[in-house]
Amino acid sequence: MREIAEKLLKTRSLDLNEYAKLIRYRANLAEWLKQEALNIKESIYGKDVYIRGLIEISNICKNDCYYCGIRRSNGDVERYRLSEEQILACCDEGYTLGFRTFVLQGGEDGYFTDERLCALIGEIKRRHSDCAVTLSLGERSDDSYAALRRAGADRYLLRHETADREHYGKLHPPEMSFDNRMRCLRSLRDLGYQVGCGFMVGSPYQTEETLAKDLKFIEDFKPDMCGIGPFVPHHGTPMRDFAAGTVELTCFLLSVIRIIYPPVLLPSTTALGTIDPQGREKGLLSGANVVMPNLSPTNVRRKYELYDNKICTGEEAAECKGCLSRRVRSIGCRLAIGRGDIKK
Ligand code: SAH
């Protein structure tokens, strides 16, 4: 397997077969590729870790993804939606704490029309012109993405979830479409957004072959950002009885993605911190370079429960940032100030 790893390091490209083998026989390669990934990351970003303030604006969702705790059919969720004033207050607090990127994430909630979102984005940009606004609000029309971009949104996160059509069909109800998800990613790119894709590690029915397609997709698409974290079952979903993904495979894939596309912005996710108390540190040491502390008001944190036992649901924003800052320093890195744009 050494030859495959060497080819990856030299060409940053493998075929599907080779990616699948690399994953299958990773045990003896992981340590080596991790060091290579770290070197690549440090050659571009040094010891800087970028921060984004995550604001979970609504847990109301019209979709019914089989894995997600806030899916439409989960009747046990106490639904909430932040008001424009609350969202702006989160940004103001975040700004004071030093955040220069705000990520507005939520379910696909019809309340957030283009008109409302454009006004909101415009106001965030008016108050904090040196900040980047990232949206993570799911699938919308091209016209909608265009309007939000004109209103000032800089980046959009939309995990592709899996690059294998059949696998996509096993994770989502029939009314959701793999082609539409991929269409969204391409139009976001065409509209000039910095675009993030990504997937869950260890999601039900995932195989080395589907993961190979994810890696090939990343190689071809060259996303500005790539969010990967372990699947963690949620008790109120049809996928409650599946096993969670592992830290080991998540970290290995972080390393491989860093090698495939060196400048990519790679978050060490909350899900990784949820399945292992040291998970986020391990992610950063495997090639990740972004953390996303939670800026949502504490009284809604528990309600944005995508998966069981999600961490950081009790702390205030300042505590969350302080905690992450200590974790980052404990491994010899530092939180960078600024928007944290991709260096390509
Ligand atoms: N509605 C938005 C935001 C979704 S939540 C959208 O469609 O993009 C953000 C991410 O959380 C999802 O893309 C998914 O990959 C992840 N997620 C959802 N349920 C999860 C679970 N049970 N375990 C781990 N990650 C999960």
- What's the CATH number where 331 sits? 3.20.20.70
Q: What does the pLDDT look like over 45-66, one tens digit per residue?
A: 999 999 999 999 999 999 999 9
Residue 71: the pLDDT is 98
On whether residue 343 sits in a domain, the answer given is: no
Q: What pTM was computed for the model?
A: 0.99
Q: Which residues, judged by CB distance below 6 Å to any ligand atom, belong to the binding site of ligand 1?
A: 67-68, 105, 107-108, 136-138, 158-159, 161, 200, 229, 231-232, 234, 271, 306-307
* Residue 160 and residue 215 in contact, taking contact as beta carbons nearer than 8 Å: no
CB atoms within 10 A of CB 2: 10
18's tokens: 């080779």
What is the secondary structure of 216-243 as a DSSP string? HHHHHH--SEEEEEE----TTSTTTTSP
Q: Which residues contact 208 (CB under 8 A, 6 or more apart)?
A: 20, 21, 23, 24
Q: Using CA atoms, how far apart are residues 176 and 179, in angstroms rounded to an integer?
A: 9
**Alpha helix stretches (DSSP H) within the chain:** 2-11, 16-24, 30-45, 84-97, 114-127, 142-150, 165-171, 178-190, 208-221, 247-260, 270-275, 279-284, 298-301, 317-330
Q: What does the pLDDT look like over 152-197, one tens digit per residue?
A: 999 999 999 999 999 999 999 999 999 999 999 999 999 999 999 9
Cα(214) to centroid of ligand 1, in Å? 16
On whether residue 270 sits in a domain, the answer given is: yes
Number of domains in the chain: 1
Residue 254: the pLDDT is 98
Give the residue, by CA position, lying nearest to ligand 1 atom 6.
Answer: 138
Residue 1: the pLDDT is 85
* CA 275-280-281 angle, 5° bins: 125
What is the secondary structure of 264-313 as a DSSP string? -B-B--HHHHHH-TTHHHHHHTTT--EE--B-S-HHHHTT--SSTT-SSS
User: Which regions in the chain score pLDDT beneath 70?
Assistant: none
Task: Spell 235-248 as b/e; 16+ CB within 10 A means b.
Answer: ebbbbeebebbebb
On whether residue 18 sits in a domain, the answer given is: yes
Nearest to 108 by CA among 76, 133, 144, 84: 144
226's tokens: 């790539």
CB atoms within 10 A of CB 192: 10
On whether residue 106 sits in a domain, the answer given is: yes
Q: Using CA atoms, how far apart are residues 238 and 260, in angstroms rounded to an integer?
A: 34
Cα(5) to centroid of ligand 1, in Å? 30
Residue with tokens 């391990």: 282
**In ligand 1, which atom is closest to the CA atom of 239?**
22
Q: What is the DSSP letter of 28?
A: G
Helix (H) or strand (E) holding 197: strand 194-201
Nearest to 171 by CA among 250, 242, 268, 262: 242
On whether residue 342 sits in a domain, the answer given is: no
On whether residue 262 sits in a domain, the answer given is: yes
Cα(303) to centroid of ligand 1, in Å? 14
* Residue 100 and residue 338 in contact, taking contact as beta carbons nearer than 8 Å: yes
- 58, 61, 65, 67, best to mutate for ligand 1 pocket (most atoms within 8 Å of CB): 67
Q: Which residues contact 254 (CB under 8 A, 6 or more apart)?
A: 37, 228, 266, 268, 283, 286, 287, 288
* Residue 279 and residue 273 in contact, taking contact as beta carbons nearer than 8 Å: yes
Range of the domain at 254: 2-336
Bridge-based pairing state of the strands 290-291 and 225-230 = unpaired
* CA 72-77-80 angle, 5° bins: 90
49's tokens: 């870790």
Cα(12) to centroid of ligand 1, in Å? 28
On whether residue 218 sits in a domain, the answer given is: yes
On whether residue 341 sits in a domain, the answer given is: no
